[in-house]
A and B are shown apart, each in its own frame.
Chain A
Amino acid sequence: MNALGFDTAQLGLAAPLCIVSIGGLVLLMLEAFSRERGPRTHLAALTLVVLGLAALAFVRSWSAPPQAIFHSMLVVDRFSTFIGLLILVGAGLAVGLAGGFMREQRFEFGEFYALVLLATSGMLTLVQAADLVSLFIGLETMSLAVYVLTGSWRRNAKSSEAAMKYFLVGAFASALLIYGIALVYGVGGSTNLAAIGALETPEISDPVFLIGALFIFIALAFKIAAVPFHMWAPDAYEGAPTPVTAFMAATVKAAGFGALLRLVATAFARPELTLGSNGWVPLVSILAIATMTLGNVAALRQESVKRLLAYSSIAHAGYLLVGVAALGLIGPEARGPILYYLAAYTLTTVGSFGIVAWYGTHGDERHSLDDWAGLATAHPAGALAMTLLLLSLGGIPPTAGFFGKFYLFKVALGSPALLPLILVAVANSLISVFYYLRVVTAMYFREELRPVTVVRSTGMTVTLWIATFGTLALGLFPGWLVDLATQASLFVK
């Protein structure tokens, strides 16, 4: 014990969060005092080093017993470590995409790397939060940094518009969150997740408490873009500079699901917290069905590949919500598939948005389906990678996305009540294959309408190969990740 009131050994457990936060601040200073106006290759390299160090720290803490630190504000367990690592991977891949993209599109935004690190630190806080207050801090840190990233392409009107929309809706979500926290605290007298989870009957059946819980839930539903709280997502995803889209589609969703899974397992785990006989399961099921179906149906009609992928990423939140519903009926083992799915989704999403970023040159971003015609003739490797990634999104073997869905449905089948939900999900997979194949059709079956141009950047190429091979490798050899995800699912505190 010392003046801070906690064991300094806990700093070791919080190392990943500390490394990323401090790294973010240092990078911010470096940029502020730098005269460099060209490409910030050194900053990108430094960011990757910071992310790598944080990942190492996470790996080291894998074997530590799960424990609450900093006066039960944060918790370190394998669950948060697993999602934390995913977030670091997503951030690293997005950084790999950003350099080439910014150089090509002539908007050098030096704060990009610092903001990515700050957003990442917020996400790590979010998934490690053991208290509603730290949850709120994490969510805000993440969101503010991502708003700025979304609007970072100042000369691009769509980018500014996207940031504005995202910010306004996000601010609304934050207000709901803090309001919900206040209500829950007002009834329960504590913001600690475990303490809230231990509350007994008079409090938890209090309608004010229920409303508070619902508000918190809705705030997170905004962050994971679940229908009907998704309306910001297509515009924000489409308007943001594509590497930022890749970053937020993958990591914000992972962090949001991390927080959601922890909440439903700790503070709001009581089956009496009802909107039906199975607690929050019916609510989540309805949300899952709406999210999958609307995401996929809306994607059918898109003419912009980027917007199509934005809707597809909404649909994927729906599949993940099927897992959350399974969690309520089956128990912790349902967390394994959600974690695996998030891993598959992270790689595939960053990869597919990455290819959107890679395709096109200065002043000529190639987003419309017509622009994608004939890509396979000019760039067979890029088209092949995109095909693999799209097949993974559609759940066709032997890719990570297929195995993720398969594993998810396998666990969900453990409860007969979930069968309708699985059938809806399967029907949705069919719809999704149709629009993913529209992109493949354009790339392979049509002749190019204008010459194909792509960004030439080693960073991008390497990143895209990593994402593509990762997607394939996770599909072909999923065993080890299933093991890790299973371990992570059983160590939630």
Chain B
Amino acid sequence: MILALVTLLPIVGALLLLLVPREEVGLHRGLGFLFALATFVVSLLLVPGLKPAEWNALVDWVWVAPLGIHFKLGVDGISLFLVLLTTFLMPIVMLSAHQAIARKVREFYVALLVLETGMIGAFVAIDLFVFYVFWEVMLIPMYFLIGIWGGDRRLYASIKFVLYTLVGSLAMVVAILYLYVRHHEATGLWTFDYDALQKLVLSSREQLACFLAFALAFCIKVPLFPLHTWLPDAHVEAPTAGSVILAGVLLKFGTYGLLRFAIPMFPQAVVQCGPYITWLALIGIVYGSLVAWAQTDVKKLIAYSSVAHLGFVVLGLMAWNGRGVDGAMVQMLAHGISTGGLFLAIGVLYERRHTRRMEEFGGIAQVMPRFFAVFAIVMLASVGLPGLSGFVGEFLILLGSFDAWRTAKGHELFFGTGSHPKLIAAIAATGVILSAVYLLTMFQKVMLGPNANPKNRHLPDLSARELAVFAPIVVMAFWLGIYPATFLDRIDPAVAHVIGQFHEKATDRPELGPTPRLLGTLSKAAAAAATAKPGGGG
């Protein structure tokens, strides 16, 4: 019940806001914030007594009886903190938008609240139909956030965002339907239940086709190089609130989806495709960092840094050992906190100066000392300074990758047979250095040096409201960096459980059940496409 409440409370708030006349701007701001805050408080109730390796707070309502669709929600050690990240960022975002959003205030809060329901729902859905519905529910509010309150090229960016996302989602929905029909063929039961579909025995060709469909949806969301081109556009055009949510939460659906669905459900296909994904992640890390370095627009710089940071997460998943995946999870949270903080910081500058170009700034530290402190903390957290949030995740991921052979224990490695995990880890490590390079360069140009531009002489420092926005983020950046055990204690058992199940499923290859009648052209085409790709990884 708690989980249903957490999921649906925001949308109830959205419906309520629709009933309030739109002139009541203050009421909309207050009510929106209140609902987001209430959702956060309720979501905290999920933490005590959580059993990380199983479904907690299970909700199972029959939704569409004739088709076997259940409104089934559950939370485990993996989804818990992603839900908390969502509910944590949402009130912050709402608070930060008080001045920036002056037009269509009601619509803004309605969009944010609908988005929140979509995000929470997609994290906790354990019925694939419900997952898909929530996944799509996220799409439209984000489209509005970019399109209504965005920058000059918002029309282009918003439609690009929708079309990119939709390409993946439509591929995924066909795969979901395929699993659903195959499960019925195998057992005579119509169900979208995650656990049931996961037990389905699929031929390697079917696995490959379905994995590619799921992975396409998730890799676009991550975004994995070369599917990332929507991200800089969306980030640059989106208002601060949109960017924070986009980077903080939405991107995590890509990596969460890989971890929850694509990898455990299609073990053989992952081993086959793993090398490609690994190398794309590596390219993403290096390429994203280099491109970030070249940016003059601060927001674009942070957008590209997301490509690099999420590349780390994918790498951690591909290492597929306890450390790597734990690291990926922590990195997801850390990225949500630090990049969210960075976007908020840019938002602060943008609200004051209506530009984000680095050369317009310089020496801001002299006029905004309080801002200097918080900006430095979130920036260093993003760099991965020990003691701050970014360090733990990156370190664990590198450790996991470095160690991949030793921990594989006879299982096939996603990196590819004959690959050199140490080399992979070494390439990835350049990303850590590069992130220090581009973030510190940016920070130096914006905050340090002489305050030469006369327009910057009298910028007001952070107001009390803005301090309230940053305070929780700074606290979390330290918490994750200094005492990650709070999180890892719950993440680790869940991750170990998922990996254990995976190896069980991958090694246990029972004689194929009834010959699959449903072997369509899709899987053939997919197999052909996969074999046609040049060269293996490593």
Chain A contact residues, CB within 8 Å of chain B:
376-377, 380, 384, 387, 391, 396-398, 402, 406-407, 409-410, 413-414, 416, 419-420, 422-423, 426-427, 429-430, 433-434, 437, 441, 444-445, 478-479, 482-483, 486
What residue in chain B is nearest A411 (Cβ atoms)?
A: B181
* B 496-538 binary contact with A (CB < 8 Å = 1; else 0): 0000000000000000000001111110000000000000000
20 further A-B pairs in the complex, CB-CB below 8 A; given A397-B132, A430-B163, A430-B167 = A376-B104, A391-B140, A397-B133, A397-B137, A406-B177, A410-B177, A416-B517, A416-B518, A416-B519, A419-B521, A419-B522, A420-B521, A422-B174, A427-B170, A433-B163, A434-B163, A445-B158, A479-B64, A479-B66, A482-B66
Q: What separation, in Å, do the CA atoms of A256 and B65 have in the docked complex?
A: 30
A-B contact pairs, 6 of them (CB 8 A): A380-B106, A396-B139, A413-B177, A433-B163, A437-B159, A445-B148
How does the 8 Å CB contact mask read for B341-357 relative to A, with 1 for contact and 0 for none? 00000000000000000
Give the distance in Å from the alpha carbon of A441 to the alpha carbon of B66 in the complex.
37
Interface centre among B139, B159, B167, B519 (most CB of A within 10 A): B159
A441 & B133 in contact (Cβ 8 Å cutoff)? no
B166 with A433: CB separation less than 8 A = yes
| Contact indicator per residue, chain B 147-158, by CB within 8 Å of chain A (1) or not (0) | 110000011001
Distance in angstroms between the alpha carbons of A486 and B190 in the assembled complex = 15
Please measure, in the bound complex, the distance between the C-alpha atom of A407 and the C-alpha atom of B123, giving whole angstroms: 24
Among B64, B158, B173, the residue within 8 A (CB) of A478 is B64
Contact B133 A398 (CB under 8 A): yes
Known A380-B107, A413-B518, A416-B519; judge A407-B67 contact (CB<8 A): yes
Contact B144 A429 (CB under 8 A): no
CB B114 to nearest CB in A, in angstroms, measures 11
122-180 of chain B: CB within 8 A of chain A: 132-133, 136-137, 139-140, 143-144, 147-148, 154-155, 158-159, 162-163, 166-167, 170-171, 173-174, 177-178, 180
Cβ–Cβ < 8 Å partners of A396 in chain B: 136, 139-140
For residue B490, give the distance in angstroms from its CB to the closest CB of chain A: 31
Take A398-B133, A444-B147, A479-B66 as given contacts and tell me if A409 and B174 are in contact as well, using a CB distance cutoff of 8 Å.
yes
In the bound complex, how far is the Cα of B64 from the Cα of A482, in angstroms? 8
- From B63, B154, B181, A413 is in contact (CB under 8 Å) with B181
- The answer on a CB contact under 8 Å between A437 and B143 is yes
- For A444, the closest partner residue in chain B by CB is B148
A441 and B158: CB pair below 8 A?
yes
Kindly list chain A residues whose C-beta atoms are within 8 Å of the C-beta of B98: none
Decide if B163 touches A479 in the complex (CB within 8 Å): no
Contact present for B521 and A377 (CB under 8 Å):
no
Nearest residue in A to B517 (C-beta to C-beta)?
Answer: A416
B285–chain A nearest beta-carbon distance, Å: 30
Docked Cα-Cα span, A482 to B62, in Å, equals 14
Name the CB-closest residue of B to A479: B64
- Which residues of the partner chain B approach A419 to less than 8 Å between Cβ atoms? 520-522
- CB of B22 within 8 Å of the partner chain: yes
Identify the interface centre among A384, A409, A445: most chain B CB within 10 Å of its CB: A445
Contacts of B177 in A (CB 8 A): 406, 409-410, 413
The answer on a CB contact under 8 Å between B154 and A445 is yes
Write the nearest CB–CB distance from B103 to chain A, whole angstroms: 9
B63: A residues at CB distance < 8 A: 479
Residues 368 to 424 of chain B near chain A (Cβ within 8 Å): none
How far in angstroms is the closest Cβ of chain A from B526? Answer: 12
Docked pose: A229 CA to B170 CA in angstroms: 29
Chain A residues whose CB sits within 8 angstroms of the CB of B170 once the complex forms: 426-427, 429-430
> In the assembly, what is the distance between CA of A409 and CA of B136, in Å?
17
Where the two chains meet, the residues of B that have a C-beta atom closer than 8 Å to any C-beta of A are: 18, 22, 63-67, 104, 106-107, 132-133, 136-137, 139-140, 143-144, 147-148, 154-155, 158-159, 162-163, 166-167, 170-171, 173-174, 177-178, 180-181, 517-522
- What is the bound-complex CA distance between A427 and B170, given in angstroms? 8
CA distance A429 to B67 in the complex (A): 22
A426 CA to B159 CA in the complex, in Å?
Answer: 18
Q: Which 8 A-B pairs have the closest CB atoms?
A: A419-B520, A397-B133, A445-B147, A479-B64, A482-B66, A413-B181, A397-B136, A416-B520
Would you call A445 and B174 a contact (CB within 8 A)?
no
When distances are taken between beta carbons in the complex, the residues of chain A under 8 Å from B65 are 479, 483
Q: How far is the CA of A396 from the CA of B136 in the complex (A)?
A: 7
Name, among A397, A426, A430, the residue most crowded by chain B CB atoms within 10 Å (CB to CB). A397
* Alpha-carbon distance A444/B104, docked complex (angstroms): 10
B273 to chain A minimum Cβ distance, whole angstroms, is 20
CB distance from A108 to the nearest CB of B (A): 36
A273 CA to B137 CA, complexed, in Å: 45
| Bound complex: CA A407 to CA B163 (Å) | 23
CB within 8 A of B166: which of A377, A416, A430? A430
Q: How far is the CB of A375 from chain B (nearest CB, A)?
A: 13
Also in contact, A445 and B155, with CB within 8 A (given A397-B136, A413-B518, A422-B174): yes
Complex contacts, A482 vs chain B, CB 8 Å: 64, 66-67
In angstroms, how far is the closest chain B Cβ from the Cβ of A390? 10
Q: Which residues of B contact A413 (CB under 8 A)?
A: 177-178, 181, 518
The residues of A that contact B167 with a CB separation of less than 8 Å are 430
For A483, the chain B residues whose CB sits under 8 A away are 65-66
Residues in A whose Cβ lies below 8 Å from that of B174 = 409, 422-423, 426
Q: What's the minimum C-beta distance from B62 to chain A, rounded to whole angstroms?
A: 8
Residues of B within 8 A of A398 (CB): 133, 137
When C-beta atoms are compared, the residue in chain B nearest to A394 turns out to be B166
Q: A419 to nearest B CB, angstroms?
A: 4
Once the chains bind, are B522 and A423 in contact (CB under 8 Å)?
A: yes
**B181:A441 contact, CB within 8 angstroms:** no
Q: Can you name the residue of chain B whose Cβ is closest to the Cβ of A413?
A: B181
**Considering the chains assembled together, what is the distance between the CA atoms of A122 and B133 in angstroms?**
39
Taken together as a complex, chains A and B put the C-alpha atoms of A483 and B166 apart, in Å, by 30
Across the interface, name the chain B residue whose C-beta is closest to A407.
B67
Q: How far is the CA of A180 from the CA of B52 in the complex (A)?
A: 68
With both beta carbons as reference points, the residue of chain A lying nearest to B65 in the complex is identified as A479
A377 touches B104 (CB 8 A): yes
Are B518 and A441 neighbours in the complex by a CB distance under 8 Å?
Answer: no
Provide the residues of chain B in CB contact with A414, threshold 8 Å.
Answer: 181
Least CB distance, A434 to chain B, in whole angstroms: 6
Measured between alpha carbons, how far is A377 from B107 in the docked complex, in Å?
Answer: 10
User: Which residue of A387, A409, A445, A486 contacts B66 across the interface (Cβ within 8 Å)?
Assistant: A486
CB distance from A40 to the nearest CB of B (A): 35
Alpha-carbon gap, A434 to B139, bound state (A): 13
Contacts of B139 in A (CB 8 A): 396
Contacts of B133 in A (CB 8 A): 397-398, 402
Report the minimal beta-carbon distance from A331 to chain B, rounded to whole angstroms.
15
A441 to B157, CA, bound (A): 12
Q: Contact check, A437 vs B180: say whether CB atoms are below 8 A apart.
A: no
User: Which one of A376, A429, A486 contacts B107 once the chains associate, using CB atoms below 8 Å?
Assistant: A376
CB <8 Å contact, B173 and A406? yes
Q: Which of A406, A410, A423, A433 contacts B181 (CB 8 A)?
A: A410
Q: How far is the CB of A308 from chain B (nearest CB, A)?
A: 16
Asked if A437 and B64 make an inter-chain contact with CB atoms under 8 angstroms apart, the answer reads: no
B residues within 8 A CB of A410? 67, 177, 180-181
* Complex-state Cα separation, A416 to B182, whole angstroms: 11
CB distance from A344 to the nearest CB of B (A): 14
- Complex-state Cα separation, A420 to B154, whole angstroms: 35
CA distance A377 to B522 in the complex (A): 45
The complex places the Cα of A406 from the Cα of B181 at a distance, in Å, of 12
Contacts of A486 in B (CB 8 A): 66
Cα–Cα, bound, A413→B170 (Å) = 15
> Which residues of chain B are within 8 angstroms of A441 by Cβ–Cβ distance?
147, 155, 158-159
| Chain B hits for A406, CB < 8 A | 173, 177
Residues of B within 8 A of A380 (CB): 22, 106-107
Closest residue of chain B to A416 (Cβ to Cβ) is B520
Query: How far, in angstroms, from A396 to B144 measured CA to CA in the complex?
Result: 15
Q: How far is the CA of A380 from the CA of B105 in the complex (A)?
A: 12
On chain A, the residues within 8 Å of B107 by CB distance are 376, 380, 444
Complexed CA–CA distance, A441 and B161 (Å)? 13
CA distance A379 to B173 in the complex (A): 34
Task: With CB as the reference atom, state the residue of chain B lying closest to A387.
Answer: B140
